[in-house]
Structure 1
């Protein structure tokens, strides 16, 4: 159950694509590979993503790069 005091902001596809710097095709591929948060269905033709989940995905990518850069210098 969600914390009633938590603020959840939903963002739409154009903003997700812009923030992540990926194409729509890549977004679909990542979702189907369970490598990106799944969208929330808002209506019959509308979806959105939880902003904090998208931000977490971005942070994980940054951290993975840091780990890989550190391994390259060993």
Structure 2
């Protein structure tokens, strides 16, 4: 089964982060990098976002 790709609005909705926070954390290496879907189109692997959220839950506990 193909991996689901999330677009930025979906990533914002499931993480609760704003666009600017996502890109700032990506620049610092604290958020998963997107995959290129086209010349000006990117998305994030759902598994990368889920793993990132799970790792943050462990750190917060």
TM-score, structure 2 as length reference: 0.93
User: Match of 2:51?
Assistant: 56
SS, match of residue 3 in structure 2: coil
The higher relative CO (CA closer than 8 Å, separation ≥ 6) is in: 2
| Residue 18 (structure 2) aligns with | 23
Instruction: Note the alpha carbon deviations across 1:16-71, whole angstroms, 9 max, x for none.
Output: 011000110000011001111100011111100000000000001111110xxxxx
Q: Structure 1 runs of 4+ off > 3 angstroms?
A: none
Which residue in the other structure is 2:37 paired with? 42
Structure 1 residue runs without a partner (length 5+): 1-5, 67-74
After superposition, the CA RMSD in angstroms is 1.0
* Unaligned ranges ≥5, structure 2: none
Give the whole-Å Cα distance in 2 for the aligned partners of 1:10 and 1:24: 17
Higher radius of gyration, 1 or 2: 1
Once residues 57 and 11 of structure 2 are traced to their aligned partners in structure 1, the CA distance between those partners, rounded to angstroms, is: 16
TM-score, with structure 1 as normaliser: 0.78
